[in-house]
């Protein structure tokens, strides 16, 4: 699905040098590479604080801990996302409240959020799914009205711009109280292992989050709260520091591939190409088609037989996952999510797809549809 090897070849000398510097310095934890990457990312995002941590799942968990969410508090999120979003809510004994998504953007439906609010609701976790921002202005309005926190899951959308109605822009993850991202290798800004970060403009919250990731410690060996151990390695930071310089170029390459796919599939009666919403740029973490009246499994099989990997993100909605079955929810409750789970298919997407590969992929899809 992604071609990390070709991407690495192009930046090998810079990356290898950065890694070697960390090894030579032996500052493996919280070394200078972490501090400079943090500062570079703060500058890139235009955000006051970046708190590096061990992965995107931790970023979400640490945010919820630092915001002081307590067992029984309700947290509203989308039924169509990667499991991590709901997992941390459940692990902290908060109550995940699921709502449906919009059929065109696949992002959380603000009207459904508003309907799901109760006296126990404390936070909303929108996911900027597949690389495009959720409707943050509508969500912020709801959050302000009901005094709720917003934690953006920007794990798939680092570098995307939210475009406000007045034309101003903010980077995904910096629009609300807190934003979370992942540096998992296949993410748009990926390292060579696990990594993550949290973003905020709030000084006090940043202090809390820095303490939570460091065993709840503000003064060394004095623990005023229960924390976790969640760090970004210096070696990963050295890799990320190099790749951050190319993040906007990477997004361009992904959009070029998406344009190619769009041109090949637009107006096809059996395929819905991804909607590009006017209030967000799209960084195409995934290029996801919605199929109509076809045997999706057969399409996936056919593509596999032609050496074209195609994946289903996500085949099972959250409320139908075994570990998350809940008497509050049943099949049919989230019709858009359920429809998408049955019909979506994601094509290969990376910074390294050339015209020949794209041509081969699109003609393989068309071949299947016409057979």
Ligand X SMILES: *Cc1c(COP(=O)(O)O)cnc(C)c1O
Instruction: Pick from 44, 184, 246, 329 the residue near ligand X by CB under 6 A.
Output: 184
Residue 316 structure tokens: 């099972």
If the CB atoms of residues 122 and 128 are measured against ligand X, the closer one turns out to be: 128
Site residues for ligand X, 74-93, by CB under 6 A, read 81-82, 84-85
Q: Quote the CA–CA distance of 336 and 323 in Å, as a whole number.
A: 21
Identify the CA nearest to 86 among candidates 107, 94, 12.
Answer: 94
Instruction: Based on the shown chain and the rule CB under 6 A, indicate whether residue 236 belongs to the binding site for ligand X.
Output: no
If the CB atoms of residues 55 and 280 are measured against ligand X, the closer one turns out to be: 55
Instruction: Based on the shown chain and the rule CB under 6 A, indicate whether residue 182 belongs to the binding site for ligand X.
Output: yes
Instruction: Based on the shown chain and the rule CB under 6 A, indicate whether residue 57 belongs to the binding site for ligand X.
Output: yes
Q: Quote the CA–CA distance of 272 and 290 in Å, as a whole number.
A: 5
Instruction: Write down the least CB distance from residue 53 to ligand X, Å.
Output: 9
Residue tagged 């640490």 (tokens): 62
If the CB atoms of residues 199 and 368 are measured against ligand X, the closer one turns out to be: 199
Can the peptide bond before residue 21 be classed as cis, meaning omega within 30 degrees of 0? no
Identify the CA nearest to 185 among candidates 1, 54, 15, 4.
Answer: 4
If the CB atoms of residues 194 and 352 are measured against ligand X, the closer one turns out to be: 194
With CB atoms as reference, the residue minimizing the distance to ligand X is 56
If the CB atoms of residues 89 and 271 are measured against ligand X, the closer one turns out to be: 89
If the CB atoms of residues 34 and 358 are measured against ligand X, the closer one turns out to be: 34
Instruction: Based on the shown chain and the rule CB under 6 A, indicate whether residue 196 belongs to the binding site for ligand X.
Output: yes
Instruction: Based on the shown chain and the rule CB under 6 A, indicate whether residue 64 belongs to the binding site for ligand X.
Output: no
Q: Quote the CA–CA distance of 341 and 334 in Å, as a whole number.
A: 11
Site residues for ligand X, 139-158, by CB under 6 A, read 153, 155-156
Instruction: Write down the least CB distance from residue 52 to ligand X, Å.
Output: 12
Residue tagged 């068309």 (tokens): 366
Residue 206 structure tokens: 């940043």
Q: What is the DSSP string of 79-127?
A: SSS-THHHHHHHHTT-EEEEE-B-TTT-SB-HHHHHHH--TTEEEEE-B
What does the binding site for ligand X look like in residue numbers (CB under 6 A)?
55-57, 81-82, 84-85, 127, 153, 155-156, 182, 184, 194, 196
């Amino acid at each position: 699905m992604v071609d990390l090897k070709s991407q690495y070849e192009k930046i090998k000398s810079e990356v290898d040098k950065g890694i070697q510097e960390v090894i030579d310095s032996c500052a493996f934890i919280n070394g200078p590479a972490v501090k400079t990457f943090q500062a570079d990312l703060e500058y890139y995002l235009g955000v006051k604080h970046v708190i590096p941590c061990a992965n995107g799942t931790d970023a979400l968990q640490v945010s919820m801990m630092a915001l002081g969410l307590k067992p029984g508090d309700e947290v509203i999120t989308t039924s169509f996302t990667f499991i991590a979003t709901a997992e941390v809510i459940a692990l902290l004994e908060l109550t995940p409240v699921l709502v449906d998504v919009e059929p065109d953007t696949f992002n959380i439906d603000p009207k459904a959020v508003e309907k799901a609010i109760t006296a126990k609701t404390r936070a909303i976790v929108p996911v900027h799914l597949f690389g495009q921002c959720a409707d943050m202005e509508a969500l912020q309005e709801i959050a302000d009205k009901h005094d709720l926190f917003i934690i953006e899951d920007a794990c798939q959308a680092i570098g995307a711009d939210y475009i406000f109605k007045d034309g101003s822009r903010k980077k995904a993850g910096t629009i609300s109280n807190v934003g979370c991202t992942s540096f998992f290798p296949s993410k748009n800004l990926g390292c060579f292992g696990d990594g993550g970060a949290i973003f905020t403009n709030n000084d006090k919250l940043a202090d809390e989050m820095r303490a939570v990731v460091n065993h709840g410690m503000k003064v060394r060996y004095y623990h005023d709260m229960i924390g976790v151990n969640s760090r970004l390695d210096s070696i990963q930071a050295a890799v990320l520091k190099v790749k951050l310089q190319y993040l906007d170029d990477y997004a361009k390459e992904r959009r070029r591939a998406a344009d190619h796919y769009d041109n090949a599939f637009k107006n096809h009666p059996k395929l819905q190409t991804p909607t590009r919403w006017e209030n967000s740029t799209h960084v195409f973490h995934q290029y996801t088609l919605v199929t109509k009246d076809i045997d999706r499994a057969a399409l996936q099989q056919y593509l596999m037989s032609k050496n074209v990997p195609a994946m289903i993100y996500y085949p099972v909605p959250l409320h139908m996952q075994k570990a998350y079955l809940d008497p509050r929810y049943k099949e049919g409750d989230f019709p858009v999510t359920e429809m998408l789970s049955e019909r979506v298919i994601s094509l290969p997407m990376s910074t390294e797809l050339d015209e020949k590969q794209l041509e081969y992929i699109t003609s393989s899809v068309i071949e299947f549809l016409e057979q």
